[in-house]
Structure 1
């Protein structure tokens, strides 16, 4: 892949580029559009790991996305400067401006919306959608083509992000949020259709776009220099080089910040958390250890000590991710790189893997986390059952209860065709866009657990 062809200011839904007189670049506009979108705001009440809400502040999907965006911007600044300095002679004038000034904005925007397609209750919400279609496959698959049903029984938040950001819902503008192709390419961790999935191959471990967004994704790939994966007949591309940086920013944030949240909730002891982060900082070897130790001695508050260690850990991981990215830039541009930057760091520093293992055993399997996962799964599964079966029936076959169920779906999600795929996508758009609170309240009402007029 050519560094001169990896970006495009072209947007979904419009044929013209942004006016040159606008003081903001197109990539800065992306960031602003995401921030002000309703899909982004809804992330404030979507589970990251721990139950919401509570008396102790923990991260939700929105605060996580903001922090990932901050890390992505830092990586973009470092990588952009490196490419500008090292590849100056091979860059055209537009590329020089892009890498020097705009790559950081593309990565900040991509990181900001990397989770925007995740349903309520995080991965358990995803699991519920997948399980519903897998468990009812024999009854449901007759309504769809093979490739359409693959989308549903392998539902994936990453693929849904492309849909959320580009789709035109009823009464809304063509092209969705109308982001640049550069930002959209940077969030496609698995740039293939569902039928091309292969768990043994990094860029096809999951899938990155639904059949409904196939054409727009192919156009995004065309304008951002993505190369087709010649090893498979289905539509599949090699990862865009910017994706590795968005993925690294996400990996850095959740591995460190989930640890901080667990300490604040007293799921793990402060001393354990301190030791894990201290070992990490020393292992990575980026910080001035003398200055680091002297500053730490001045902080007595336990939460502030962890906050300081968290900040130093993230800073060190940013610079390590930068090092591994430039070390592997040649293979990344060729499209044959396979290992996540965070995994490379973990191989180089035992303290990183120690945090990953500790978190899996002591945080992600904590009872409070498992309870919300179970609850979220059941809520989403029951809502799917309530809406999917009625919407697949012909109008003349619908019972009164079916009709009443469908009246609950907002008009913006309604399909005006008899296409079952589009009908079900509308239901999934509605359900996956819900916050944890909204989904729970709707579940309680349709199950008769809570009855009464809305305030």
Structure 2
């Protein structure tokens, strides 16, 4: 069983000072500040959330989405932190009580800011493009990889996962830039604490095996983090841990935001009418204390955008409270690593049915809308094309073209004949997955000859 007393630590990965301190307030905000000022976070402003960017109508990108998720996460952290401190006052140290009262909100906010930082260009289709590229390799290139890489390393490529890449960015890549984050922040984003070879297995019924949470290159980081926070190990041979309880709060903030915000964007783009969105959101308030107030306010407003803003704000508040209640109702199971549903799946049955209805509409009318499908197809071509050229340069380093291609890779992404092929491939993936949509398209056009570079 995990314990609230040991599930947080302001020790930093890669820091020489391995001694914990009692200064709980401020340590986790330092993580937040380091993320906010990082180039990886800034680049989220030009990474697709759902709809293509940019347009005459402003829709959410990865950056605005992450900021909104962080706002909700901060509220969840504050609500839950106060409840943990109050309920466990007799069993927790003064240091722990202060952490849960004052600092948990900072941790969850930071985890939310970082939750999409490992996503490649073009949304989730970017992940699919990388997986497909390595899955469909053939001939000598396939043989070279199979001979040089372990099964788990191959699985990192064929099952490329943005969550695992986020863990790599926040640990390995941040450390190279001198940015050291606390183990607590790192743990808060690992939704699927299992390696790539054994992840992506829904047959287990475990929430932790749906995807993967770290690459082979970061297994040592994971082990240090798990040991420091005394996380529960489920299967050491598979690098399989129970989820850290804080992850459920980061996940809940994301679950709340994307469902509502995607509807709002669809309305602004005239994919859904206001009536369609209203019929999806208003029923959540039936029987709630503020039902009459919301309906009264809606009647007093003429602008549909204002009405939708009201519904969005009130529903986020309602679902935040419901998820915090669900967290505390399942406290023991969370500490035992036995919760295998997201918090939003553990709220009241009426709300779950309404969320299922939103999901069904989103799949049929939003995620399969022509503009979304077009950007996904473009992502496959661009990401696949970049991988073909840069991986070719790694696998055939002596050709004249390969030597020139490698010059296009910034020095921070180390490519060397002295390091294993796996590390060189990860460097290429670090480079490509960190690109913005616009940069990826621009580079693809130039190296394929679609657009001839100029000196002007």
Q: TM-score range by the shorter chain?
A: over 0.9
Equivalent residues of 2:233, 2:240 under 8 A apart: yes
> Is the aligned partner of 1:167 residue 2:192?
no
**4+ residue runs over 4 A deviation:** 17-24, 168-171
* Partner residue in 2 for 1:225: 230
Q: Secondary structure at the match of 2:197?
A: helix
In structure 2, how many angstroms separate the alpha carbons of the residues matched to 1:380 and 1:291?
A: 49
Quote the residue 2:26 is aligned against.
Answer: 25
Whether 1:154 and 2:159 are equivalent positions in the alignment is yes
Q: Deviations over 1:122-176 (max 9, x none)?
A: 1110001101111016433223122211111111000000111111479732xxx
Deviation, 1:22, is 8.3
Give the gaps of 5 or more residues in structure 2. Answer: none
1:440 aligns with 2:441: yes
Contact 1:119 1:434 in 2 (8 A): yes
In the other structure, the counterpart of 1:415 is 415
| Structure 1 residues 252 and 185: CA distance shift in structure 2, 3 A | same
Distance 1:287 1:58 in 2: 32
Distance 1:169 1:202, change over 3 A: closer
Matches within 5 A, 1:254-273: 254-273=258-277
Deviation of 1:21 (Å): 11
**Residue 402 (str. 1) matches residue 402 (str. 2):** yes
Q: Are the counterparts in 2 of residues 7 and 225 from structure 1 also a CA contact under 8 Å?
A: no
With 138-147 and 335-344 compared, the bigger mean Cα shift is at: 138-147
Name 2:60's counterpart in structure 1: 59
Partner of 2:254: 250
Alignment partners' CA distance in 1, 2:34 and 2:365: 38
**Correspondence list, 1:24-103, <5 A:** 25-103=26-104
C-alpha distance in structure 1 between counterparts of 2:174 and 2:292, whole Å: 56
Cα separation, 1, equivalents of 2:17 and 2:218: 21
Change (3 A) 1:48 1:454: farther
1:332 to 334, 337, 352: 334
Indicate if the aligned counterparts of 1:76 and 1:103 stay in contact, CA closer than 8 A.
yes
2:412 alignment partner, SS class: helix
What is the match of residue 114 of structure 1?
A: 115
Output the CA distance in 2 between the equivalents of 1:164 and 1:270.
39
Which one of the candidate residues 278, 283, 291 is aligned to 1:279?
Answer: 283
CA shift digits 1:277-305 (9 cap, x unpaired): 112232xx545112212222222111111
Kept after mapping to 2: 8 A contact 1:286/1:319: no
| Structure 1 residue 218: Cα displacement | 0.8
**How many Å apart are 1:65 and its aligned residue?**
0.4
Structure 2 counterpart of 1:363: 366
> Deviation per CA, 1:305-354, whole angstroms, max 9, x where unpaired?
11111111111110111121111111111101111112233744222211
Contact kept? 1:120, 1:433, Cα under 8 Å: yes
Give the whole-Å Cα distance in 2 for the aligned partners of 1:238 and 1:21: 27
Sort the Cα spacing of 1:95 and 1:134 in 2 relative to 1 into closer, same or farther, 3 A. Answer: same
Cα distance, 1:2–1:23 mapped onto 2, change above 3 Å: closer
Summarize the Cα distance change of 1:171–1:146 in structure 2 as closer, same or farther, 3 Å threshold: closer
Deviates more, 1:132-141 or 1:220-229: 132-141
Structure 1 unaligned spans of 5+: none
Q: Is the 8 A contact 1:244 1:340 kept in 2?
A: yes
| Residues 249 and 286 of structure 1, relative CA distance in 2, 3 Å threshold | farther
Return the alpha-carbon distance in structure 1 between the equivalents of residues 174 and 115 of structure 2: 20
Aligned pairs, number:
446
Are 1:9 and 1:17, in contact at CA under 8 Å, matched by a contact in 2?
no
Say if 2:216 is the partner of 1:211: yes
> Take 1:92 and 1:170, find their aligned partners in 2: how far apart are those partners?
31
Question: Does the residue aligned with 2:347 lie in a helix, a strand or coil?
Answer: helix
Contact 1:11–1:181 at 8 Å: present in 2 too? Answer: yes
**Structure 2 counterpart of 1:449:** 450
Match of 1:352 among 350, 355, 380: 355
Do 2:195 and 2:213's aligned partners in 1 also have CA atoms closer than 8 Å?
yes
TM-score (norm 1): 0.94
CA RMSD of aligned residues (A): 1.9
Q: 2: distance between equivalents of 1:75 and 1:135?
A: 42
Q: Is the 8 A contact 2:22 2:95 kept in 1?
A: no
- Taking the aligned partners of 2:174 and 2:106, their CA distance within structure 1 comes to 27
Verify the 8 A CA contact 1:7 1:224 in the aligned structure 2. yes
Q: Aligned to 1:229, what secondary structure does the other structure show? A: strand
Deviates more, 1:213-222 or 1:409-418: 409-418
Residues in 2 aligned to 1:87 and 1:169: alpha-carbon distance in whole angstroms = 35
TM-score w.r.t. structure 2 length? 0.94
- The 2-side partners of 1:21 and 1:360 are apart by 47
